[in-house]
A = this chain, B = another copy of it.
Amino acid sequence: MLFERVAIVGVGLIGGSFALALKKAKACRHVVGVGRSAANLKVATERGVVDSIAPDAAAAARGADLVLLATPLAQFKTVFAQIGSSIGAGTLITDAGSTKQDVISAARDTLKQKIAQFVPSHPIAGAEHSGAAAANAELFRGRRVVLTPLAENSAASVQRITDAWSECGARVSSMRAQEHDAVLAAVSHLPHLIAFALVHEMAGRDNSAELFSYAAGGFRDFTRIASSHPEMWRDICMANRERVLNELSRFTDQLGEVKRLLEKSDAAALEKLFTQAREARGRWLAGEFDA
C-alpha cells in the first residue's frame, strides 16, 4: 500500500481519475475529497471515487500521506495556504496543474518552510468532459506525466510521487519548470486557444447555424478541444500568459506566410508546406519522437 490516506482537492476529471487509478492499483486505502460543488462531490461519492468528503482543503489534508491539487490554477494559492497549515511532516503534496512556474511560485509563497514537501507534477492527459462523472481509472494509462522537482525535494519524495503516477499507468519523466511551460504553450495551450477562437468566430456569424450544419468529421476533431473547461483554460492562459502570447505571435506569423503564398497563388510552395506538415505529423504518429 503506497499511501494510507490521499486527499484530492478538486474531484474533477483529473483528480477523480487519479483517485480511481490509485484505488484500482490498490495503492491507497482511503481517499478524501473536497470541492466547490456539492453535486459533483455527490457524484464522486456515488461512483466510489472518494470514500469521504472534507469541508475544506485544510481538513482534507490533515492526516493525509498525499495531497493532490486538481482545481483550476487560480485556486492553487488559496489551497496551498489552507493545506500548509494542516499537513504534518510526513505529508507529500503534488498537483495536476497544466503550468508549473506559477504553481511553484504560489507554493513557495504559501508553504514556506514546508516547500520541500511539494513535488510539482503535470499529467498530460485530459478529455473534453469534466467533473467526477467523467473520471476513469484508465485516463493516465500510457500518458506522460511530467515532474518539475524542486531543489528542496528529497530524492525519496520525488520517487514517491513518481510511484504514485506510475501506479496510475503513466510514463513519468522530469524537466525544468521553465522548459515545461514553454513546451506546453506550443503543443497544448496554443492549439486550445486556436480551437476556441475558431468556434467562437463561427458561432458569432449571422449564418452560424448553416455553417455548423455543413461541418463534418474533420471539423469535429479539429475543434474537440474547444469543448474543454473554460475556467481551467482561462487560468492556464493567465498563468502562462507571456509564453502563450509568444506562441500566438509565432503562429500568426506562420498564418501570414500562408496568406502571402495564397495571395501570390504560389501553389507549389503551398503544396510543399502541406507536405512537410503531413510528413512531420506522420513521423510523430509513427513514434519517431517518443520519449
Q: Which residues of A contact B (CB under 8 A)?
A: 74, 124-127, 143-144, 146, 183-184, 186-188, 190-204, 207-228, 230-231, 233-235, 237-238, 241, 244-245, 248-252, 254-259, 262-263, 265, 267, 270-271, 273-285, 288-291
Contacts and interface: CB of A to CB of B under 8 A. Distances in A.
Given A255-B252, A265-B238, A278 B226 contact: yes
A138 to B, nearest CB: 13
A258 B252 contact: no
Which secondary structure dominates chain A's binding surface? helix
A194 B201 CA distance: 14
A205 to B, nearest CB: 8
A288 B241 CA distance: 35
Nearest to A279: B203
A91 B207 CA distance: 37
A218 B191 contact: yes
Contacts of A230: 271, 274-275, 278
Nearest to A123: B216
Nearest to A289: B212
